[in-house]
Structure 1
Amino acid sequence: MTHRPVIKNPSDLLRKKSEVISKEELASEEIQTLIDDLLDSMRLENGIGIAAPQIGAHKRIIIVDDGKGPAAYVNPEIIARSIRKGHFIEEGCLSVPGIWGYVTRHKAVKIRALTREGERVTLKVKDLTSVIFQHEIDHLDGILFIDKADTYTRHPGM
């Protein structure tokens, strides 16, 4: 595994849409190494989530640590959302250091993705884990939490 530095905002690399990964590509050494590098980078940065664009790879891969340990999700998509929305947790981002705030998010979401082994999974997540998935999937579409923040709680300009 290799620690790849996390790209910091502002950077055009964080604004680029990521590419879907085929099952064949998922099995490649290149993609498996990328997943290992994401895990390593997230651990070293003390994160609870990271997306491939944050280390310069525009592939649809995220890592989410739901408190039971980090797991990779490939081509994740939100297939259902709770009606209830709100500010459930103060958000920060490894790519936007020093800035924290609240984003209106769905309390619960249903996710469909592939595991790193290529197994299709469907997950129902809520609360913090729901926020992490929504935040990381946004990265895959070139969206940062600061684009959606309703209120900043900490900001260098405050």
Structure 2
Amino acid sequence: MILMSDIVREGHPALRKVAEEVTFPLTDEDKKLCEELLQYIINSQDDEVCERYGLRPGIGLAAPQVNVSKRVFALHIEEENKEPLSFVAINPKIISHSVERTYLSNGEGCLSVDRDVEGFVPRYSRITIKAFDMDGKEFKLRLKGLPSIAFQHELDHLNGVMFYDHIDPKEPFKEIPGAVPFERD
């Protein structure tokens, strides 16, 4: 089980490296990594488990955040009146995106960042992605809203980019042209 002590924090070199493609079939070690990334995110959304193990809640976790330089991340998002979105993405790519941009009006956070970083993080409103599952089967999804924002955040981790790299340092709350803010509960 991944714990907060397993998650590397900003300043760690693993967070600034471009992660390596994963080959199939997955090794037992890679399968375990995939399962544990997803399990952390699911556990982190359970108040009782969070309290018992001292976890911080999250909706995504990438392999570089646990000091493994591989192109893998997990997302688990439960939105009201929607089916939960829960998957592991291996070698993920954005194959198309909207011109329209969005951002979380209250900013983004990260399990690898132990401080509040204020500012708007511009993201594409809608994306179409391709990735592989743990069985090596390719899948394609269209994402919008929070799932789109979270996917882009985690994909950045695989490319050595932190969310705050996108924030304008001089004007963190500067209006983003053509962007519609996404309000999150």
For normalisation by structure 1, the TM-score amounts to 0.87
Instruction: Identify the residue that residue 119 of structure 1 maps to in structure 2.
Output: 137
What one-letter code is carried by the residue in structure 2 that aligns with 1:84? E
Superposed, 1:92-103 pairs within 5 Å as 92-100=109-117, 101-103=119-121
Q: Which of these residues, 15, 34, 50, is aligned with residue 61 of structure 2? A: 50
Query: In 2, Cα distance between the equivalents of 1:126 and 1:30?
Result: 32
Which consecutive unaligned segments of at least 5 residues does structure 2 have?
Answer: 45-54, 79-83, 174-185
Give 4+ residue runs of structure 1 displaced > 6 Å after superposition.
none
Structure with higher strand content: 1
Query: In 1, Cα distance between the equivalents of 2:63 and 2:30?
Result: 10
Note if 1:14 corresponds to 2:15: yes
Q: Give the conservation status (yes or no) of the 8 Å contact 1:88–1:107.
A: no
Query: In 2, Cα distance between the equivalents of 1:107 and 1:38?
Result: 25
Instruction: Quote the offset at 1:69 in angstroms.
Output: 4.9
Superposed, 1:1-150 pairs within 5 Å as 1-3=1-3, 5-24=6-25, 26=26, 28-42=27-41, 43=44, 44-67=55-78, 68-89=84-105, 90-100=107-117, 101-150=119-168
Aligned in 2, Cα 1:144/1:113: closer, same or farther, shift over 3 Å? same
What one-letter code is carried by the residue in structure 2 that aligns with 1:77? K
| Pairs aligned (count) | 150
Instruction: Quote the offset at 1:86 in angstroms.
Output: 3.0
What one-letter code is carried by the residue in structure 1 that aligns with 2:95? I
- The CA RMSD measured in Å over matched residues stands at 1.7
Aligned in 2, Cα 1:2/1:94: closer, same or farther, shift over 3 Å? closer
Question: Deviation per CA, 1:19-50, whole angstroms, max 9, x where unpaired?
Answer: 101122x2x21101111221233334311001
Instruction: Quote the offset at 1:121 in angstroms.
Output: 0.4
Q: Give the conservation status (yes or no) of the 8 Å contact 1:91–1:103.
A: yes
What one-letter code is carried by the residue in structure 2 that aligns with 1:110? T
Question: Deviation per CA, 1:50-82, whole angstroms, max 9, x where unpaired?
Answer: 100000001100111132153111000000010
Query: In 2, Cα distance between the equivalents of 1:111 and 1:30?
Result: 25
What one-letter code is carried by the residue in structure 2 that aligns with 1:29? D
Q: Give the conservation status (yes or no) of the 8 Å contact 2:70–2:158.
A: yes
Question: What's the % identity of the aligned pairs?
Answer: 35
Q: What SS does the aligned partner of 1:87 have?
A: strand
Aligned in 2, Cα 1:149/1:76: closer, same or farther, shift over 3 Å? same
Aligned in 2, Cα 1:148/1:136: closer, same or farther, shift over 3 Å? same
Q: Give the conservation status (yes or no) of the 8 Å contact 2:38–2:75.
A: no
Instruction: Quote the offset at 1:117 in angstroms.
Output: 2.1
